[in-house]
Chain A
Amino acid sequence: MPEATARTRPAPARDGTSLEPWEDPDAEPYVRIEGVTKRFGGFAAVDGVDLAIYRSELFALLGASGCGKTTLLRMLAGFEQPSEGRILLDGQDMTELPPHARPVNMMFQSYALFPHMTVAQNVAYGLKQDGVARREIRRRVDAMLELVQLGAWARRKPHQLSGGQRQRVALARALVKRPKLLLLDEPLAALDKKLREQTQFELMNIQDEVGVTFVVVTHDQEEAMTLSTRMAVMDQGRVMQVGTPTRIYEFPANSFTADFIGSINMVRARVLRIEGDTAILETPELTCELAAAHQGADLREGQEVRAAVRPEKITAHRDDTGGAAAPARNTLRGRVRDVGYLGDSSVYRVDVGGERLIEVTQPNVLRSLAREIDWDDPVVLAWAPQAALVLPQ
């Protein structure tokens, strides 16, 4: 789009000099969702959600099916009215506006392309409704089809296109009106895996180019992690945590988020004492004492918590020497019960004598046909206190 000013994604604030908008207390949110609740009968599909989304963000709503993410998206589009709360866009209260009057466009999961119109007519539809001059429509439709690389397909009907092409027509149709906010409902769900990965990056590039604020609904955490600047993890109509993908993965705020995103080994534990920035914990499920960086969390001695560590943050090596079951803090001796070879890495499930198996992921650094660690091998597992998490009960 020639109108859009060239924009580059701001560099992450590594040195602390440039703040991301959500880190800046003075930044004004572009979209405000304030105390929004949606009830269907007695059931609250969305329950008291507060969110602030900033200009040019690619914000993901992530959750399992039925968590209320799609209902929230439909309220942003205007297809549903909130039972309580309000939605503001660029300072304007949108809560009462019907869908056709909102400066918001949506890309549907089914794409919802008009089957009786050509690709160009589909893209032009929104501009026609606004009474844009014919010549201007033509110019903008051509530019938009160029952007999604469908210039040669303008006169085709949707049923003559492949799934990936339809997805791009839907994107072009939703973007051509230059909405203040673009809503995407599971944008990549209908594509196969290879195409999905490729399209993910295309979508990010297009968003960078047009600078429109995107809100993406997805159940696919990989999709949310790759695409989004920030994401909200939802469960049963509530927002469990909002943050950058890195923050949500590495510093989950609660056990739901920790468990929902990626794999994690989680055990019940009790705080023994605090040693500086490390909490010392004991757990009935494991034989060793645990040490975990508490990150300033407010912990008391004797408090019941959950301790967790992600599989890839545990190192495993073969150890035939034998010895104590728990040689040291954050160290466990056990036997491999399961090996899963994934190509780039291998997953081991290790029996350490507790109730559950501990999952460990190791990258396959060297090319080899022989397994370094195999079924029934004795192994020693260890992890750093900075790798472990302490989560409130």
Chain B
Amino acid sequence: MSTRAPAVPARPAWVMARLRRLVPTGRGLAIAAPYAWLVLFFLVPFVVVLKISLSQMVIAQPPYTSLFVWEDGLLPAVRPYFGNYGWLFQDPLYWIAYLSSVKIALLSTLGCLLIGYPMAYAIARARPTARALLLLLVVLPFWTSFLLRVYAWIGILKNKGLLNAALLATGIIDQPLNILHSNAAVYIGIVYSYLPFMILPLYATLEKLNPELLEAATDLGARPWKAFVTVTLPLSLPGILAGSLLVFIPAVGEFVIPALLGGPETLMIGHVLWDEFFSNRDWPVAATVAIVLIVVLVAPIVLFQRQQLRASEAMT
């Protein structure tokens, strides 16, 4: 090229670019907002709980020793106490409570899946006008307080409650069933309370499913149930997984439902934690129970979910 570009000093533009990078952009702020939320309301409380779990119980205000001890030097000395974690391993009560919680949560999740899948499928296949109404019915219970709804189950399940009255009146049973204050009542309560969390993600995946895929399967010789097993079920796995996690994670730590509906044999870690905190006033052990719950259950689940998410993203 014969024409030369006029000699413009390159430096001002370079400096401006540097300066501009310091000013937050709208995009940066939008991305920062959820992270700020997580740091403030998840990470900070988590660190506080972690700190308490590394201290010892004292009769004082607050009721635990400080992690940092100010001595002669400029910096405080860190005096972590790991005895609480050792204690958790020694006393079988905790391990039984963890396992029992996981068992109750798993069976409840399975119950939600068995009841929720047909419901989600029916809603996804309903006429578009009916769909909105059916979805509204699914979320309608949220308009009433969670606590009230669990209390209502006491009225239904107790010995002279609605269920027993109905069964006795129809002559199906002649002795009232002792459901309330048993594990059965806890299962009923958890499945009832968390069913919408299973239905909604399942509905979202089933509704997106191209009905032509099912037609293609039957056209290729698959009977309807075979088409369901080989096409619908694998393609709704992301929804099954999302719904199961939404039910399983809160169910493991559930406190209100076992406290109100459960009986003496009901042992759940949420209840153990509550006892440590309020009855024993042993904050360090209560904090340790919470930390172990997160590490043992939630961390692997989150990792698993992220990996599944990546797999499903690659598929569609």
Instruction: Give A contacts to B, CB under 8 Å.
Output: 77-79, 98-100, 104-106, 108, 110, 112-116, 125-126, 129-130, 157, 159, 173-174, 177
Instruction: Give B contacts to A, CB under 8 Å.
Output: 210, 212-213, 215-224, 226, 230-231, 234-235, 315-316
Which residues in A have their C-beta under 8 angstroms from that of B316? 115, 159
| Between-chain CB contacts (< 8 Å), 20 pairs | A79-B215, A99-B215, A100-B219, A100-B221, A100-B222, A104-B219, A108-B215, A112-B210, A112-B215, A113-B216, A114-B213, A114-B217, A114-B231, A116-B234, A126-B221, A129-B220, A129-B221, A159-B315, A173-B220, A177-B221
Q: Which of B216, B221, B315 contacts A108 (CB 8 A)?
A: B216
Chain B: CB-nearest residue to A183 = B219
**Inter-chain contact A157/B222, CB cutoff 8 Å:** no
**Inter-chain contact A100/B235, CB cutoff 8 Å:** no
**Inter-chain contact A115/B315, CB cutoff 8 Å:** yes
**Inter-chain contact A100/B215, CB cutoff 8 Å:** no
Which residues in A have their C-beta under 8 angstroms from that of B210? 110, 112
Which residues in B have their C-beta under 8 angstroms from that of A79? 215, 219
**Inter-chain contact A100/B218, CB cutoff 8 Å:** yes
Q: Which of B213, B219, B234, B235 contacts A99 (CB 8 A)?
A: B219
Shortest B310–chain A CB gap in Å is 14
Shortest A15–chain B CB gap in Å is 42
Alpha-carbon distance A89/B216, docked complex (angstroms): 20
Which residues in B have their C-beta under 8 angstroms from that of A130? 221
Which residues in A have their C-beta under 8 angstroms from that of B220? 100, 105, 125-126, 129, 173-174, 177
**Inter-chain contact A129/B315, CB cutoff 8 Å:** no
**Inter-chain contact A112/B226, CB cutoff 8 Å:** no
Shortest B121–chain A CB gap in Å is 18
**Inter-chain contact A108/B212, CB cutoff 8 Å:** yes
Residue of A105, A110, A113, A115 with most chain B CB atoms under a 10 A cut-off: A115
Alpha-carbon distance A79/B217, docked complex (angstroms): 12
Chain B: CB-nearest residue to A101 = B221
Which residues in A have their C-beta under 8 angstroms from that of B230? 125
Which residues in A have their C-beta under 8 angstroms from that of B217? 114, 125
**Inter-chain contact A129/B226, CB cutoff 8 Å:** yes
Alpha-carbon distance A98/B217, docked complex (angstroms): 12
**Inter-chain contact B235/A116, CB cutoff 8 Å:** yes
Alpha-carbon distance A100/B217, docked complex (angstroms): 8
Alpha-carbon distance A106/B226, docked complex (angstroms): 18
If the complex has contacts A112-B212, A115-B315, are A129 and B234 also in contact, measured as CB distance less than 8 A?
Answer: no
If the complex has contacts A108-B212, A108-B216, A110-B210, are A129 and B222 also in contact, measured as CB distance less than 8 A?
Answer: yes
- Closest 9 CB pairs between A and B? A126-B220, A129-B221, A112-B216, A112-B212, A99-B218, A100-B218, A129-B222, A106-B219, A116-B234
Alpha-carbon distance A338/B223, docked complex (angstroms): 59
Alpha-carbon distance A177/B221, docked complex (angstroms): 10
Which residues in B have their C-beta under 8 angstroms from that of A78? 219
Chain A: CB-nearest residue to B216 = A112
Alpha-carbon distance A114/B222, docked complex (angstroms): 13
Alpha-carbon distance A350/B234, docked complex (angstroms): 62
Alpha-carbon distance A125/B12, docked complex (angstroms): 65
**Inter-chain contact B315/A157, CB cutoff 8 Å:** yes
Alpha-carbon distance A36/B217, docked complex (angstroms): 25
**Inter-chain contact A106/B216, CB cutoff 8 Å:** yes
Shortest A386–chain B CB gap in Å is 47
Chain B: CB-nearest residue to A157 = B315
**Inter-chain contact B315/A116, CB cutoff 8 Å:** yes
Which residues in A have their C-beta under 8 angstroms from that of B221? 100, 126, 129-130, 177
Alpha-carbon distance A125/B234, docked complex (angstroms): 14
Alpha-carbon distance A129/B219, docked complex (angstroms): 10
Which residues in A have their C-beta under 8 angstroms from that of B218? 98-100
Alpha-carbon distance A177/B215, docked complex (angstroms): 16
Shortest A137–chain B CB gap in Å is 13
Alpha-carbon distance A114/B315, docked complex (angstroms): 10
Chain A: CB-nearest residue to B215 = A79
Alpha-carbon distance A108/B211, docked complex (angstroms): 12
Alpha-carbon distance A61/B228, docked complex (angstroms): 32
Shortest B55–chain A CB gap in Å is 50
If the complex has contacts A116-B235, A116-B315, are A100 and B216 also in contact, measured as CB distance less than 8 A?
Answer: no
